[in-house]
Structures are given as structure tokens and as C-alpha cells.
């Protein structure tokens, strides 16, 4: 039994390590701005990417992506992101209301700040100000998007190492 | 079956090498009956392994180094913050007990240079009476976004004003202090801030007037014209800006840990072994490893600058301290905040205040994470000074009782005595004299 557990555990470890290796490539194929390897200099609370891969909202109404204005994203610096929203058929959503939630589910706390969308930049881009991370680990960012009488939400999950 | 296990071991090695599967690695060793790694429970496994770090670990260590501390950015709310004349005036004011009605209290009463600008007391104590909180250091504090344990001020200059009017601290008032400074320091004030207003008319500028709890002082303040109140507020703000210009010059110095981090960055194990004992290295490993201390004590000052509830015990006879959940409301209402009339910042520069978190259970009973540089020299500990020494602090983290009210961000460390001692040994390596010209670490010489 012990051996079986160990084997199962190690298979899991293998899968995890594999995920870690291929993730940047996948993002690259999506044409997102990516940093190279985060490298030693950026350890201690930074995100390997400055962009978050496009993701569909829960009910498929919108496609949402995000690019940080702070590159690389590091802990303990308040900064802005640009959120880009398109419809499922890839037309920019030009007048959305966006509300923000998020934090670290594993730590049972939210963002240390109260980020909010402060400006509609046009062409489906929105300025999200007041983003801040205060520790390394897995963070989530949930955007509730309302446009044209319809509401849908999307949750991004990412890790700062 | 054997083949599967072999595959699993290879997988484990890959995962371990990538540094993504620490817990899995530990579980694997446990299951297979292998001894634990040096970064697990067995602390001392030989001189080499004590200073043997993965690339990711070396990056983490470097992220805590003072070499990563950026040059101090200007405080946009204080146009005089980097003016040498303001530093000189601020230093004089910092040490001047004339800024108290009985001439007995200055900033340096509690922020004593020889004690890393703390006072060594459980709670700040002035004229034999305790204040509600423990005196924090001001070394390196200029990098903070929030001031006081609850962050009820958003700049060093706004912070410097509040104790002057607190009855249990300086016990003064803004009219009294404006009159005093415009008298005793008139030429220095005018060189910085322009022609001083004439506040000699006691009918217009009562001797003791301020918007504070003291009824007489408040009545006197309310009796002043709006324009005269602004005149006094302006002088009072300038006093704070001068004191901040001085106190922001008091920087943390280079500690033995920082030399170790530099050696770790280039993986010079011989140098590392010269700088740290095995116990200190083991403590460092626990600090960012099993201890998870770097969740909050991260970056070159070993603080994330935000607020957490860690379920501290209440001192006997004291009431629950709301901490950040009250501090947020106070800083938003403060006329001396970054967005106020007396700030020199443009609205868009007041990023922290504009995006302040006002709601959330995690604010209840939360206090600012203190930096850990010189932690061994600045006992007692915590906002309420509840722990007399580092042993008591680590005991708290080992047990991590739940918070009430609010929720504690801690999980019990349950470290052994050996591990706890190693963690403290590491913390002792963070000592270093403040990095400031020696003449700033004492009252200005040749002046009364």
C-alpha cells in the first residue's frame, strides 16, 4: 500500500513538473507578451509573465485577457493592469462595467488594496488600478463583467514565486 | 510495480530539481522511510549542506538582501522631504522638548537613537503613563506606505504631527507648536517655507487650540476663523514635513545576513561558511521554508508593508484593539493625508490612499507587519508589546492560537526547540547600526 501511494504521489509530481515546464510555451503560442525565465534575480515574489492568457467567462459571453503595466509583476508594489474584453466572436466590448474581487484563497484573505477599473481606454481596453500582491503564492482575480444587459464573470489564477 | 516506482523516483527527482514539489518530496521520503532533508526536521547534516542552496533558494535569499533596497523614492506629499535645510530643522525639532507644554517630551523621548529609535518599553510611556501601543522603530520606515501600527497616517510628516497633540505623548496643540517654532526657529522656517505668518495676536491665535478631545482646546479652535485655522494647519504641516525630512534619512545598515546573501547569490559556499554558523543557515532555511515567514516578512526590509491579524493575546485588563479596521477610517478622514489641502502631491500620486482597502474581515485586529532588521535589538515585540523577547515571539508562532475577533493569518509552526533556536539565531544576523551620518544620530550640536 505504501509503495502504491508513493508511486501515485510521484506520478502526480511528474505531472506537476511537466505542467510547470510547458505552461510558458502555451502562453507564447497565444501571442501574449512573456518574459523569459523568471531567473534568480526575480525570485521572492514575482510572476514569470506580465500578461494573463485570454480566458472565456463562465458562460462564454466574453473573452478576457490582462496585461500588467508593471513588468515583471513583483510583490509590494501597487500597479495597474489593462484588461481587454471581447465578445465570443472577437469584437471588442467597448462599454462594460467591471467589478473586481480576488485574493489568496489558501490564506483566506483578499488583495491588500481595493483595485478598481478607473478608465475605459477604448477598443475593449480598461484600466485596472490599485493592484497589489503582498506575498508569493497562488492568487486569484475575479472580474464580473456587465455589458449590454448581460453579466458574466471570469476568474484568473496565477502564481507569484 | 518496481518499474512504476522507479519512474516515480525519476519524476520526484525532476520535480525536486524544479523546486515545485517540496511537500511531495517530504511525503515521498516519509513513505519510503528515507531520512528527512536538511531543510526538514534534521537541522545539522554537515558543513557543506548547511550552505548548499538551490538556484531558487539563492534567489529567495537575495530578495531579502539590503542590496535590493531601492534608493528612497521622494515622498510626493512632502516637497521639502529631501531638502537639507529641512533635514537640519527637522533634526532640531525631533530632539526639542520645547514641543511639549511642560518641556519634558520630544520625539526622541520614545524614538531613542541609541535603541534603534525605540524605547525598550512594553508600551510607550510618557510622564509615567502608558500609551496604548508599543513604540516602533523609525529606521527604514520611510519606505512604508502607512504609518502607525494601524496605518492611520499615510505619510511620515502626517504621522509626526499626531503625537504632538496626543495628551499621553507630547500633550501640546498646533497653535502652541506653531507659535513655538515660528519663535525659536523663525529664520530656519522662513528660509524653507517663506515669510512666516504673524500669529502673535492671542485673540486670533489662542495659546492652546486644536481640534482634539480636550474641550477647552477644541472650543478655542472652533472660535478661530477658517482662514486662521488654515494658517496654523499650514505651519503645523510644515513642522511635520521638516521632522519627516530628518527621520527619512535614518536608513537600515548592512547586516551580516546581507553579506551572506551576497555570497549566496554567487554560490560562494566557503564565504557563506565564514559568515554564518550552520545553525544560522538552518534558521534562514526555516525562515523562508517551513516557517513561511516570508509570506509577510518579505523584501529587503523583511516586511510586506501590509496588515495582518496574528491572533495576539490581549494584555490583561486591556480592550480589544481594532487595529487596521479603524485605522483605515481615520486615514481617509485625516486632513493631513495625501489628498488633503496640506499635501504637495497630485491626486494621481496618492495611489495608496486612492486604492485603500476599507472592507474585509482580515482588517479586524490586523496590525502592520514590522520589518525585522535589528529585531533582536528592539524588544519588546508586537503592537501591544506583549512579548518580552524573541523566545516568546516564536512560542506564539509555534502555537498560533485562533484570533478573536477576526481571523489569524498564522498556522502553527510547531517547531522543535532546536528549530526555534535556529530561527532566532538567524534573526540575530539581521542586526546592523542604522545607516545615517553619525551627526544625525544625536541632537544637533552647537544649538540650544
Instruction: Judge contact between B433 and B113, C-beta under 8 A.
Output: no
B385-390: Cβ within 8 A, 24+ apart: B385/B121, B385/B122, B385/B123, B385/B133, B385/B134, B385/B315, B386/B122, B386/B312, B386/B313, B386/B315, B388/B122, B390/B424, B390/B427
Q: List the 353-392 stretch of B: residues with Cβ below 8 A of A.
A: 354-360, 362
Which B positions 22-41 lie with beta carbon below 8 A of chain A? 24-25, 27-28, 31-32
The pLDDT score that the predictor gives to residue A25 is 27
- Does residue B33 register a pLDDT over 80? no
- pLDDT tens, A5-44? 444 444 434 333 333 222 222 333 322 333 333 333 445 7
In a domain, A66, yes or no: yes
- Average pLDDT (B362-373) is 97
Total of domains in chain A: 1
B259 — pLDDT class (breaks 50, 70, 90): very high
Q: What is the pLDDT of residue B318?
A: 86
Tell me the DSSP string of A54-105: EEE-TTSSEEEEEEESSSS-BTT--EEEEEEEEETTS-B--S-EEEEEEEEG
Q: Do B12 and A109 count as a contact with CB atoms less than 8 A apart?
A: no
Average pLDDT (B266-273) is 96
pLDDT at A119 over 80: yes
Q: Give the pLDDT confidence of B147-163 residue by residue, as tens digits.
A: 999 999 999 999 999 99
pLDDT above 70 for B24: no
Domain extent at residue A105? 45-160
CA B151-B156-B160 angle, 5° bins: 95
Are the beta carbons of B299 and A76 separated by less than 8 Å? yes
Q: Decide if A13 and B15 are in contact by the 8 Å CB cutoff.
A: yes
Does residue A17 lie in a domain region? no
Give the pLDDT confidence score for residue B315 in this predicted structure.
87
Q: What is the pLDDT of residue B49?
A: 86
Predicted local confidence at residue A48, as pLDDT = 67
B296 touches chain A (CB under 8 A): yes
What local confidence, expressed as pLDDT, does residue A45 receive?
A: 72
pLDDT of residue A46: 76
> Which chain B positions have a beta carbon within 8 Å of A14's beta carbon?
7-8, 10-12, 14-15
- Nearest neighbour of A10 by CB, restricted to B8, B63, B354: B8
Q: Does residue A35 sit within a domain?
A: no
B384: pLDDT strictly greater than 80: yes
Under the banding of pLDDT at 50, 70 and 90, the label for residue A47 is confident
pLDDT grade, residue A51 (50/70/90)? confident
Residue B393 CA to residue B351 CA, distance in Å, equals 34
pLDDT above 60 for B146: yes
**Which pLDDT band, with edges at 50, 70 and 90, does B124 fall under?**
very high
Average pLDDT, chain A: 79
pLDDT at B324 over 90: yes
Mean pLDDT for the stretch of residues B387-396: 98
DSSP E strand boundaries for B219-323: 307-308
Statement: residue A2 has pLDDT above 80: no
Q: Which of A1, A17, A70 is the best substitution to test chain B (most B C-beta atoms within 10 A)? A: A17
Name the minimum distance, in Å, from the CA of A37 to any CA of chain B.
12
Q: Is residue A109 part of a domain?
A: yes
List CB contacts of B326: < 8 A, sequence separation 6 or more: B150, B152
The three-point CA angle B73-B79-B80 to 5° equals: 95
Q: How many CB pairs under 8 A join A and B?
A: 148
Of residues A2, A7, A130, nearest to B4 (C-beta) = A7
- Within 8 A of B62 by CB-CB distance, chain A residues are 40-41, 43-44
Tell me the pLDDT band of A52, cut-offs 50, 70 and 90. Answer: confident
pLDDT at B3: 45
Residue B364 has pLDDT above 70, yes or no: yes
Q: What is the pTM of this model?
A: 0.86
Q: pLDDT grade, residue B45 (50/70/90)? A: low
- Choose the closest CB to A13 out of B12, B356, B362: B12
Q: What is the mean pLDDT of residues A112-140?
A: 97
Three-state DSSP string of B131-182? CCCCCCCCCCHHHCCCECCCCCECCHHHHHHHHHHCCCCCCCCHHHHHHHHH
Q: Is the pLDDT of residue B25 over 60?
A: no
Has residue A127 been placed in a domain? yes
Is B5 a residue whose pLDDT tops 70? no
pLDDT category at B47 given cuts 50, 70, 90 is low
B306, B362, B368: best to mutate for the A interface, most A CBs within 10 A: B306
Average pLDDT over residues B273-279: 97
Four-way CATH pick for B84-251: 1.10.10.10, 1.10.760.10, 1.10.460.10, 1.20.1260.10: 1.10.760.10
> How far is Cα of residue B272 from the mean position of the Cα atoms in its chain?
28
- The pLDDT of B271-275, averaged and rounded, is 97
> B309: nearest CA in chain A?
A109
Contact B21 A13 (CB under 8 A): yes
Across chain B, mean pLDDT equals 91
The SS3 assignment for B251 reads strand
Rounded to 10 degrees, the C-alpha dihedral B78/B82/B85/B89 comes to 60
pLDDT on residue B119: 97
Q: What was the pLDDT predicted at B448?
A: 45
Does the beta-carbon distance from B265 to A16 stay under 8 Å?
no
Give a yes or no: residue A14 inside a domain.
no
Residue B130 sits at the chain A interface (C-beta within 8 Å): no
Does A80 map to a domain?
A: yes
Q: What is the pLDDT of residue A16?
A: 36
Q: Does residue B113 register a pLDDT over 70?
A: yes
| Cβ <8 Å between B58 and A134 | no
**A144: domain CATH number?**
2.60.40.1930
Q: Where are the domains of chain B?
A: 1-34, 84-251
Give the chain A residue whose CA is nearest to the CA of B56: A40
| Cβ within 8 Å, pair A9-B24 | yes
The predicted structure's pLDDT at residue B265: 96
Question: pLDDT by residue (tens digit) across A66-112?
Answer: 999 998 899 999 999 999 999 999 999 999 999 999 999 999 899 99
Strand order of the β-sheet with A150-160 is A109-110, A97-104, A137-147, A150-160
Q: Does B58 touch chain A (CB under 8 A)?
A: yes
Amino acid at each position: 500500500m505504501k509503495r502504491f501511494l508513493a508511486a501515485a504521489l510521484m506520478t502526480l509530481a511528474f505531472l506537476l513538473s511537466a505542467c510547470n515546464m510547458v505552461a510558458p510555451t502555451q502562453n507564447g503560442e497565444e501571442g501574449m507578451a512573456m518574459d523569459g525565465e523568471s531567473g534568480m534575480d526575480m525570485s521572492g515574489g514575482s510572476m514569470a509573465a506580465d500578461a494573463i492568457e485570454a480566458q472565456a467567462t463562465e458562460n462564454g459571453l466574453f473573452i478576457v485577457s490582462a496585461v500588467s503595466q508593471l513588468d515583471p509583476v513583483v510583490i509590494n508594489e501597487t500597479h495597474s493592469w489593462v484588461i481587454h474584453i471581447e465578445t465570443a466572436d472577437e469584437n471588442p466590448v467597448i462599454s462594460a462595467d467591471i467589478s473586481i474581487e480576488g485574493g489568496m484563497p489558501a490564506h483566506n484573505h483578499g488583495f491588500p488594496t481595493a483595485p478598481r477599473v478607473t478608465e475605459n481606454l477604448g477598443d475593449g481596453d480598461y484600466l485596472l488600478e490599485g493592484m497589489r500582491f503582498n506575498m508569493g503564492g497562488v492568487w486569484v482575480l475575479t472580474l464580473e463583467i456587465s455589458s449590454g444587459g448581460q453579466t458574466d464573470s471570469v476568474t484568473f489564477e496565477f502564481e507569484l514565486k | 510495480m518496481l518499474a512504476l516506482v522507479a519512474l516515480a523516483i525519476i519524476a520526484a527527482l525532476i520535480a525536486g530539481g524544479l523546486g515545485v514539489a517540496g511537500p511531495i518530496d517530504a511525503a515521498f521520503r516519509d513513505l519510503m522511510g528515507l531520512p528527512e532533508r536538511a531543510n526538514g526536521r534534521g537541522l545539522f547534516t554537515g558543513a557543506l549542506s548547511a550552505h548548499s542552496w538551490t538556484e531558487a533558494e539563492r534567489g529567495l535569499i537575495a530578495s531579502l538582501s539590503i542590496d535590493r533596497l531601492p534608493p528612497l523614492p521622494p515622498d510626493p506629499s512632502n516637497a521639502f522631504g529631501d531638502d537639507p535645510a529641512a533635514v537640519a530643522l527637522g533634526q532640531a525639532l525631533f530632539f526639542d522638548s520645547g514641543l511639549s507644554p511642560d518641556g519634558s517630551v520630544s520625539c526622541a523621548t520614545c524614538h531613542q537613537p541609541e535603541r534603534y529609535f525605540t524605547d525598550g518599553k512594553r508600551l510607550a510611556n510618557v510622564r509615567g503613563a502608558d500609551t496604548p501601543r508599543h513604540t516602533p522603530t523609525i529606521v527604514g520606515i520611510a519606505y512604508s506606505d502607512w504609518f502607525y501600527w494601524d496605518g492611520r497616517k499615510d505619510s511620515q510628516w502626517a504621522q509626526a504631527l499626531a503625537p504632538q497633540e496626543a495628551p499621553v505623548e507630547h500633550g501640546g496643540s498646533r497653535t502652541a507648536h506653531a507659535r513655538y517654532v515660528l519663535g525659536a526657529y523663525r529664520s530656519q522656517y522662513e528660509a524653507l517655507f517663506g515669510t512666516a505668518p504673524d500669529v502673535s495676536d492671542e485673540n486670533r491665535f489662542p495659546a492652546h487650540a486644536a481640534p482634539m478631545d480636550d474641550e477647552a482646546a477644541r472650543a478655542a479652535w472652533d472660535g478661530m476663523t477658517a482662514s486662521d485655522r488654515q494658517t496654523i494647519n499650514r505651519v503645523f504641516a510644515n513642522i511635520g514635513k521638516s521632522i519627516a525630512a530628518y527621520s527619512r534619512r535614518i536608513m537600515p545598515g548592512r547586516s551580516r545576513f546581507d553579506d551572506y546573501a551576497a555570497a549566496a547569490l554567487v554560490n560562494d559556499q566557503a564565504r557563506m561558511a565564514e559568515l554564518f554558523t550552520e545553525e544560522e543557515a538552518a534558521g534562514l532555511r526555516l525562515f523562508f521554508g517551513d516557517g513561511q515567514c516570508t509570506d509577510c516578512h518579505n523584501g529587503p526590509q523583511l516586511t510586506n508593508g501590509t496588515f495582518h491579524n496574528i491572533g495576539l493575546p490581549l494584555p490583561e485588563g486591556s480592550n480589544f484593539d481594532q487595529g487596521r479596521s479603524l485605522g483605515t477610517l481615520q486615514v481617509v478622514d485625516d486632513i493631513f493625508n495625501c489628498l488633503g489641502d496640506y499635501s504637495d502631491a497630485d491626486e494621481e500620486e496618492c495611489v495608496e490612499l486612492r486604492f485603500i482597502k476599507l472592507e474585509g474581515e482580515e482588517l479586524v485586529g490586523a496590525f502592520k507587519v514590522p520589518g525585522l532588521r535589528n529585531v533582536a535589538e528592539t524588544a519588546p515585540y508586537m503592537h501591544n508589546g506583549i512579548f518580552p523577547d524573541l523566545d516568546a515571539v516564536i512560542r506564539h508562532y509555534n502555537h498560533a492560537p485562533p484570533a478573536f475577533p477576526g481571523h489569524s493569518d498564522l498556522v502553527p509552526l510547531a517547531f522543535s526547540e532546536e528549530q526555534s533556536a535556529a530561527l532566532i539565531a538567524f534573526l540575530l544576523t539581521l542586526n546592523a547600526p542604522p545607516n545615517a551620518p553619525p551627526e544625525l544620530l544625536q541632537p544637533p550640536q552647537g544649538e540650544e
